[in-house]
Amino acid sequence: MESVTTIAGRMDAAGLKIAVVATRVNDFIVDRLVGGALDYLERHGGRASDMTIVRVPGAFELPLICQKLAAKKTFDGILALGAVIRGGTPHFDYICAEATKGIAQAMMASGTPVGFGLLTCDTIEQAVERAGSKSGNKGAEAAAAMLETIRVLEQL
């Protein structure tokens, strides 16, 4: 029987230049996502000196900055980190949908992996859970997905 070829990304951040785009809105949550992402990358061989943090006002601005950073071709990967918490108006739905679509478009148009770490939560408690308590740290998970994608792309 013939063997199957498997392409998989190794979890090694050594030598990679990474941009972290993080929102200022809900920074008490987002700072925990950033910390989780940076910690993950450093534990997997990345160096702090190879990482750049870019602060943006909110989730709606994430796609534009991700797109501009990807176009520079100086980063191997980008992390989009933020937290949108539902309020009493439909604003939440519009922001979440447009930010998600825009981040995906930035990745697809550039070919640069973008880790999606935008929390879209109904409550502050849900956001806290996803930023390092019960549900783990979604910033670290976004970093892992971005890292694996970078390494898979290198093999294609």
H/E run at residue 147: helix 138-155
Q: Are strands 18-23 and 77-85 parallel, antiparallel or unpaired?
A: parallel
Residue with tokens 């922001």: 95
**Strand ranges, E, within 8-124:** 18-23, 51-56, 77-85, 114-121
**Strand ranges, E, within 67-113:** 77-85
Exactly one of 12, 91, 94, 125 is catalytic; which is it? 91
Compute the half-sphere exposure of residue 93: CA atoms within 13 Å on the CB side of its CA. Answer: 3
125, two tokens: 């408690």
44 in active site: no
CA angle at 105 for the pair 103 and 109, rounded to the nearest 5°: 125
Give catalytic residues, as residue numbers: 91
